[in-house]
Structure formats: structure tokens, C-alpha cells
Structure 1
């Protein structure tokens, strides 16, 4: 397997060895991201607060929020375990264009759509400002963040070569304290904890967590503890958001990507899928080919799905009940996005421009 491939798909050269549970996790992660983008507008709408559909979205929210964390954990599991990622110049030359080329092209596509729909003026300076910021569309922040992860990956690789897993776990804890635990404590305590500013971008913690969980053989007791932690994280996320939410202002404290429950829930999904594929390897063998095919186009799905979702939302009948509309949006967005990405992947030039 090309372990240095970007975290959303692995190039499918014939001589590559697949890791089926990671293919499954890629597909699961993109479905969670799509579900998040379908339900997020409902959760932050004051007019829909406390309705049955809003409550259903709140129940789903702790799960759909871990799509991006799962992507980052897959990245850590692959890149940090590959000795080729320690060579800085070859790594940058191979990996950065796979992000930068689609980033520029998709910014251009989404900007053109924004100009045509009247939401942005036709201005080169505005486009460059968005391109050098967080992107034209809301989901692009992730790619900009991923560029930063790629830049530090060779250094992380060299670090783990000289550290034991226990020492990496300690580093993981240090990152969590500065970016996750300290802000949570400051919401609870009557005083402010100011120890240590964010020494590392908090989302790097997911990269290290993916490497730890993908590399270690976990005992049944350890897996049980992880599952119990995930159940606790789900409860804290849901109850905490419900307690703070109100029709006047839907303040949801656990929506941050750094929220500690996200680490717990993402760890459960990662470990459960890995264990399931390990224990049922023979029975799941027929599923490996469709999983591989879907996993290879996930990056394209990530790029295009907001555009597909916007079109579906605009065209759907107004008379459709809200819950049914959300289900329809999610299903059609996933299907059409996968279909688009699969078609693009068959044309080399388009694949390079739109999927990296």
C-alpha cells in the first residue's frame, strides 16, 4: 500500500496491498461528514430548536462529528508507520501537489458557482483572498489544515522513531491538555486555567491517536475500556449540548473539533471496525473489492458533496416533511457524489485536477 497517500484514499495500483478496515473507515468517515453537513443547519436554527427533527439531529450529532477525526486517524495510521514519510523533500514533492492542485481547481469551481448565483462579485482580489484564507466553501478548511499536517508529518515520523509508544501517548496527552482539556476546564471552573498555550495544533492529536490504535494489539479489556469511554463521551456530548441549547441561542459547547468526547467516540469507531475486520476476515473478503473501489474515490466525494447538496436542497419540493427532506438530501448527496467521483477517477487528467 502507498502508506503516504492522502488520508482520504489510497491510489489503487494493481500491486498495492490493501488494509480493508481502513477502506471501510474511509467510507464511513465520508458518510459521517455528509450527514453532518445535512444536519448542521437544523441544529443551529432557532426556529427549529426543540422540535422532533432537531432532537433527532442532536442524537446523531455526537456520531457525525467524528468524520474528520477518523480521516486524521487514518492518516496517522498510514503515514507515521511508513518509513518513506521521514524523507522531507521526496515526501513534499509527492504529497503536496495532490492537495494543492485540487485545492486551486475546486476553489475556482466553487467561486464560479458563487459568482453565477450572485453570492460573490466577479473579482480576482476576492478570489485570491478566499483562496489564501480558508477557501471559497465551508468544507475547505479541512484541506488547508491537512496541508499543515503534511508539512509536519516527516518531523512526526522522525519523532516516533526515537520514542516508545508510551512516550507518544504522553505527547498525545500534552496536546490534548493544551487544546482540549484546558478549554473544557475553563468552562467549568470558576477561574481560568492559563497553563500552556496550544503548543501544537490540537488536531495533530488525532494523527497520533490513529497511529497508536492502528499499531498496537489491544487486549479485550483495553477495547472494553475504549468502548466504555466512547459511551461516556457520547453521553457527555449529547447531554451537554441539550443543557446549553435554547430557542434564543443554540450554543452547543461540544461542536468544537477539539472537544474531548470526539476523541473518545472516534477511538471507539476506529477500534471496533479494526476488530470486526480482524475477527471476520474470511467472511468479509467478498466486501473488500467494493470497499476498495469506494475508498479510492472518497477524496473526490469530499470535494464535490457540498455542491451536490446545495443543488438537491434547492430542487427538493417545499411540501416535503423536514425529516424526509433531510434523509433524501443525505442519500442523494452520497450517491451522486460517489457517482461523480467514480466517473472522474476514470479520466486521468480530471482525476489529477479534481482528486489529486
Structure 2
């Protein structure tokens, strides 16, 4: 098995599931918790919500072992992130104004205000990921120095404290817990360290065991979300939080499961194509999904997966074409 072939598989799984989340989440806005559409969307989301954390785990597995200066890392990584970030922020801002704003009813000050509001955390909702990953990348050179000087046992202690911090920072749990300040151990940086740890110290679990634990975590997410939403009388996404313990465990167990599979040394051409265009797919998929999803004359059962697959293919093709135009490779992702 190639050294990082499982990383490519995980990246493909993650990008597919991100699109699946966005294809199905709209059905959760209904309060009809017993309906097929809501239940179906809840189950799909519960088995997909770990996708974004999985991207961060992958980044940790790939980046924290490298030996390069802080300046080298910033030049290399930020040049890959910042131009696509700026380009797609502008694209989605333009898309928002064209699709949702009637300029006959708003003036220039309102336009500026909308721009500033949307730039605060992303001109489209999914672009929050770039704000988060930029912050993590700024920290990577320093996290490298920490983990590089940690023994296996010390990494395990850090991950244990990080996992505990997930409870203390989760609104469902923290009202029952003392106000210990575990800020240093909280946040997405823990996913980086988790990826680094699992890459260096693979856990020799039986494949069936890791997959079973993964399924249990997803079942907890689905059933818990159903219970919380029913109790509250409206959709409650507490267990969908990317920094909730159930989601962290789902991402970790799936990583361990795929890492333990016997995989070919090289992906076939199609899956390799999806893999190398995955970042661009993430950036552009919402633009295409917003048009593909409404056009499909299918029941919900088939509409969500069909929209997901078609959006994945269309986004990969768009990213490929963008990379073919002059300077397109710098902005496509």
C-alpha cells in the first residue's frame, strides 16, 4: 500500500460528504420530525457531519511531520490558500448580489454594509472553513515544534485533554460542568494533533471494531438530534457541532478504519482526478449545487444523492477547466 493512499481515500470521502451535507441540510428546517424528508436528512447529516473535521485531521497527518522554516511554510501554504480565498469570496459576493438583492430598493451605504457583514465570516456559509484553516495554518509551525518534542504518551495526554475540552466547550454539557479553563486544549488544533498522532502511531484495531465504533457514534448523533429537536420543538443542531465529542470520535474512528484497509498503491484515474481537485470542488460546489438541486424532478430519496453526485462531477470539471486558463491554477483551489 502506498504510504498515503488512505489519505487520498479519506479526502475523497470527505469532499463527497460535505456536498451531501449541503444537499440535505435544507430539509432539516422543517419541524416535522416524523416526516420521511426530515428523518432522511437527519440520518444523512449524522453520517456526514465529521467530514470537515476529517479534512483538518488529514491536514495534521500531512503537515505536522514536515521539516521547514516558518517562513517557508507560510510562503508555500498561504500562497495556496489566500488567492483562491480572495477569488471565491468575490465570486460568492457577486453571486449573492445578483441572486438576492434588488438594487432598486437599497442604496450604496446598504451595499457597503452587506459587503462588510458577509466578509466577516465568509461571503457564502461554507467559506467559514477558509477562515478557520487560515488561522490553523498560522499556528502550524508552532504546533510542529510542540508535537515534535512530545513523546507518544505526551501526545496521548494532550489528546485526552483536548477531548475533555470538547465537553467543557459544548453548550449541551458545559452547564453541568465546572468552569475549568481548557482554552489551550480546545478548538480545531486538536484535530491537527489527532491526525499527526494517527499517522505516526497507527492504532492496530480490528477493522470491524473501528467501523463499528464509527457507526455507533453516527447513530448517537442521529438519535440524539432527533430527541433534542423533538424536545425543543424545533431543529436542534447541538450534536452536529464540528467540535462536539461525537463528531470528533466519528472522524477519528473512520480515519483508523480507512488507514487499516488494504488499498491499491495508486487510485484509478477517476478517483485521482477527484482527489487532486478536492479543494477546488469544496470552493465552487455551492454555486453549482444551488442550480442543480432544484432542477432534479425526483423524490427526496433520490434527489439528495443525485444532486450530490452531479454536483461533485460538475465541480470537479469546473475546477479542472479553471486550472486550464491563464493563472487559473492559482485561484481555482
Contact kept? 1:316, 1:325, Cα under 8 Å: yes
- Give the structure 2 partner of residue 346 of structure 1: 324
Paired residue for 1:243?
Answer: 227
Match of 1:182 among 138, 148, 168: 168
Tell whether the 8 Å contact from 2:118 to 2:124 is kept in structure 1 after alignment: no
* Aligned counterpart, 1:83: 67
**Correspondence 1:106 to 2:88:** yes
SS in 2 for 1:240: helix
Compute the displacement of 1:128 (Å).
4.1
Which residue of structure 1 aligns with residue 43 of structure 2? 59
Out of 10, 27, 31, which is 2:12 matched to? 27
Equivalence for 2:33: 49
1:190 Cα offset (Å): 7.2
Measured at CA, do residues 89 and 220 of structure 1 come closer, stay the same or move farther in structure 2, by a change above 3 Å? same
SS for the counterpart of 1:250 is coil
Extract unaligned runs of 5+ from structure 2.
none
Deviations along 1:24-49, one digit per CA (max 9) or x if unpaired, are 11111000100011111112322x43
Which of residues 145, 152, 156 is equivalent to 1:169?
Answer: 156
Normalised by the size of structure 1, how large is the TM-score? 0.83
Q: What per-residue deviation string (whole Å, max 9, x for no partner) do you get for residues 85-104 of structure 1?
A: xx111111121121111111
**1:9 paired residue number:** none
Deviates more, 1:75-84 or 1:88-97: 88-97
Who is 2:215 aligned against?
A: 231
CA distance in 2, matches of 1:234, 1:68: 15
Residues 348/294 of structure 1: CA separation in 2 closer, same or farther (3 Å cut): farther
1:183-237 Cα deviation digits (max 9, x unpaired): 45x635874421115225511111111111111133246x666445423322321
Match among 137, 140, 160 for residue 153 of structure 1: 140
What CA distance in whole angstroms lies between the structure 2 residues aligned with 1:27 and 1:160?
Answer: 27
CA deviations over 1:71-130 (Å, ceiling 9, x no partner): 00110000001112xx11111112112111111111111111111113386734532443
Matching residue of 1:264? 249
Distance 1:189 1:67 in 2: 25
CA RMSD, 1 decimal: 2.4
Q: CA deviation at 1:175?
A: 2.3
Q: Go from structure 1 to structure 2 and tell me whether the alpha carbon gap of 1:120 and 1:145 turns closer, same or farther (over 3 Å shift).
A: farther
Q: Partner of 2:240 in structure 1?
A: 255
Mapped pair 1:323 → 2:301: yes
State the distance in 1 between where 2:321 and 2:233 align: 45
How far apart, in 2, do the equivalents of 1:128 and 1:100 lie? 18
Check if 1:206 corresponds to 2:191.
yes
